[in-house]
Amino acid sequence: MKKNETIANLKTETGFCKYCKQGRAVQIGEDQIYSQADLDNIASSECTCDGARHAQEKENRIRRAKDAIDKITVDGEKEVGDFLKSALSLLADHKIKKLSVNINGIVTYTVLRGNEEQLSMQRRETITEGDEIE
């Protein structure tokens, strides 16, 4: 990272909210090139209509859930964590309610959508009595 970064000049483009179709001024760097779809995404993320707010809340829930997965995933199981993260939008979109992944008969990761739309996750390790523990 350079220490003396110059602040880019901004220019204003128009994006349209994907939900209410209203145009919004979107400020981007003077030398940046955004497609209309990108501008529409930015406008949608800043709009305050019901549809946009609903989508923003969903994005926030997914972001928090990703952080939570990072916290509970132990070393050596990061790929499983990434797999669970990739399924979060299915949970948030009501395509699935719950996903459980068993790693080796002992460790199970579960992500699920609660009744209040909250996404929760759990790592469970089952040790059967009599198992040898090194």
Residues interacting with Zn ion, by CB under 5 A?
A: 17, 19-20, 47, 49, 52
The identity of residue 45, as a single letter, is S
Specify the residue, 20 or 68, whose C-beta has the smaller distance to Zn ion.
Answer: 20
Rg (CA), the chain: 21
Contact (CB, 8 A) for 116 and 122: no
Q: What is the largest CA-CA distance in the chain?
A: 68
For the bound state, the minimum distance from the C-beta of residue 51 to Zn ion, rounded and expressed in Å, comes to 6
The helices-and-strands tally (H runs, E runs) of the chain is 4, 5
For the bound state, the minimum distance from the C-beta of residue 55 to Zn ion, rounded and expressed in Å, comes to 9
For the bound state, the minimum distance from the C-beta of residue 25 to Zn ion, rounded and expressed in Å, comes to 14
